[in-house]
């Protein structure tokens, strides 16, 4: 009965709404799903350009680039952001707040401090231990304590949380739109016996240079294939590093639209994810599986989890991370073995259904219902109380 209660949900994005990023994409999809289910959603996010936002998104001002933990974070903070957060909470009349990435100095942290009442936090990153984590404890701990439920998007994100702030979380993966990938046309325009790679290939941790090295090996073994690479970046340094034979078999598509990406994944003979680490989830693997592309991925923890490695129904193939001969062997084996490919395709499409929004979104809404069961509303805490709560540490 309570399961049908319609909720007013406030979501907070730490990163600029009009900048590309996995967290923002996840929040957008989740918000759309919740609205589809009849809930009301308002998203608060920093934005570069406030004039071009969806009607259900409110801007907290522009994001600022600042150094944090050895990297540059683009977040919003300061008195202006703080005032907008408080105003948004006060006027929102929310049943609950869903804060994304509340453990970094961001809008989500501000909202977490300002609000009283049902709150859910989602942790996206898996990061190496922060140098300053002990020092920021007095600010982080009271905030994390206030969350009624904590969600991690993957086992690795959960491990990060346990290690950094000694708190546990429910794992609910990122969602995909399964049918958009599974249903649609295939095309042969990318070539035959295609090996696909999608992502920001300039980042070394995405592992494109390893895949190129493997492809050179394939050419030496006289194996036919076409290498198709999609994603933003400058292909020239990679093309320059290739042999002529490989260059003639390689296509760089540049940045592609969602439709085109779905079509590409459906048309591939193989999808290869040679990432060397730094991945929290690996949503591209779920998308490739949904589209019916047999997957070969490095055996980093995030990917093993997505593919359900070690079980009988394992939905892809793993190779030893950063090992060129291991990758070459898997690619040549799978290219030659069409029955194995067909098997992986069938398992993959089925396996990827667990990442569809209909299942992922429902799990999130279950948590919403749980934390709002008391009927308590989100309200603004007094600033004075926060000051004291912080000081007692």
Q: Is 48 in the site for other proteins (CB under 8 A)?
A: no
For other proteins, the closer of residues 130 and 154 by Cβ is: 130
Q: What number of other Cβ atoms are within 10 A of residue 185's Cβ?
A: 8
Q: Is 392 in the site for other proteins (CB under 8 A)?
A: no
Instruction: Give the H/E segment covering residue 43.
Output: strand 40-45
Residue 346 CB partners (closer than 8 Å, separation 6+): none
| Structural tokens at position 4 | 């049908």
Stretch touching other proteins by CB under 8 A, among 50-58, 103-111, 237-245, 342-350 = 103-111
Q: Is 391 in the site for other proteins (CB under 8 A)?
A: yes
Q: Is 77 in the site for other proteins (CB under 8 A)?
A: yes
Please report, as residue ranges, which positions from 270 to 329 form the binding site for other proteins (by CB under 8 A): none
Q: Is 81 in the site for other proteins (CB under 8 A)?
A: yes
For other proteins, the closer of residues 80 and 333 by Cβ is: 80
Residue from 6, 19, 90, 135 touching other proteins (CB under 8 A): that is 135
DSSP 340-370: HHHHHHHHHHHHGGGGBHHHHHHHHHHHHHH
For other proteins, the closer of residues 19 and 80 by Cβ is: 80
Residue from 109, 152, 195, 324 touching other proteins (CB under 8 A): that is 109
CA 141 from chain center: how many Å?
Answer: 25
Q: Is 252 in the site for other proteins (CB under 8 A)?
A: no
Residue from 64, 219, 223, 380 touching other proteins (CB under 8 A): that is 64
Task: Classify residue 377 as exposed, middle or buried by CB count within 10 Å of its CB (0-12, 13-18, 19+).
Answer: middle
Q: What number of other Cβ atoms are within 10 A of residue 177's Cβ?
A: 18
Q: Are the C-beta atoms of 369 and 5 separated by less than 8 Å?
A: yes
Q: Is 65 in the site for other proteins (CB under 8 A)?
A: yes
Site string for other proteins, 208-237 (x = CB under 8 A): ------------------------------
For other proteins, the closer of residues 125 and 318 by Cβ is: 125
Q: Is 113 in the site for other proteins (CB under 8 A)?
A: yes
Rounded CA gap, 343 and 331, in Å? 16
For other proteins, the closer of residues 109 and 283 by Cβ is: 109
Coil, strand or helix: which one is 227?
strand
Per-residue CA distances from 57 to 12, 31, 42, 60, 81 (Å): 10, 10, 6, 10, 15
Q: Is 107 in the site for other proteins (CB under 8 A)?
A: yes
Residue 257 CB partners (closer than 8 Å, separation 6+): none
Q: Which residues bind other proteins (CB under 8 A)?
A: 64-70, 75-82, 105-107, 109-110, 112-113, 130-132, 134-136, 138-140, 143, 386-387, 390-391
């Amino acid at each position: 009965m309570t399961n049908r209660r319609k909720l007013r949900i406030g979501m907070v994005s730490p990163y600029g709404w009009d900048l590309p990023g996995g967290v923002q994409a996840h929040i957008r999809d989740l918000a759309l799903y919740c609205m589809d289910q009849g809930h009301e959603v308002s998203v608060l996010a920093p934005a570069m350009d406030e004039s071009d936002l969806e009607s259900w998104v409110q801007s907290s001002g522009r994001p600022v680039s600042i150094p944090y933990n050895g990297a540059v974070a683009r977040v919003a903070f300061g008195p202006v952001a703080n005032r907008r957060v408080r105003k948004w909470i006060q006027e929102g009349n929310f049943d609950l707040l869903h804060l994304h990435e509340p453990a970094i100095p961001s809008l989500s942290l501000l909202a977490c401090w300002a609000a009283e009442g049902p709150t859910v936090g989602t942790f996206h990153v898996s990061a190496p231990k922060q140098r300053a984590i002990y020092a920021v404890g007095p600010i982080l701990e009271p905030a994390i304590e206030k969350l009624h439920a904590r969600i991690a998007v993957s086992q690795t994100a959960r491990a990060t949380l346990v290690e950094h702030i000694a708190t546990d979380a429910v794992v609910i993966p990122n969602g995909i739109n399964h049918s958009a990938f599974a249903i649609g046309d295939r095309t042969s325009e990318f070539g035959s016996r295609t090996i696909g790679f999608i992502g920001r290939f300039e980042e070394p941790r995405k592992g494109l240079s390893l895949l190129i090295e493997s492809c050179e090996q394939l050419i030496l073994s006289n194996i036919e294939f076409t290498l198709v690479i999609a994603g933003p970046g400058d292909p020239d340094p990679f093309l320059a590093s290739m042999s002529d034979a490989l260059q003639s078999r390689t296509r760089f598509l540049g940045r592609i639209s969602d439709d085109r990406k779905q079509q590409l994944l459906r048309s591939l003979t193989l999808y290869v994810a040679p990432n060397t680490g730094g991945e929290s989830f690996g949503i591209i693997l779920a998308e490739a599986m949904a589209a019916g592309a047999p997957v070969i991925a490095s055996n980093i923890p995030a990917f093993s989890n997505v593919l359900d490695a070690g079980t009988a129904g394992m939905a892809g193939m793993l190779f030893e991370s950063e090992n060129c001969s291991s990758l070459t062997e898997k690619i040549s084996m799978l290219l030659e073995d069409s029955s194995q490919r067909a098997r992986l395709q069938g398992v993959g499409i089925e396996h990827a259904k667990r990442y569809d929004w209909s299942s992922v979104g429902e799990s999130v809404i279950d948590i919403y219902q749980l934390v709002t069961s008391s009927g308590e509303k989100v309200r603004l805490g007094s600033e004075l109380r926060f000051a004291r709560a912080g000081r007692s540490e």
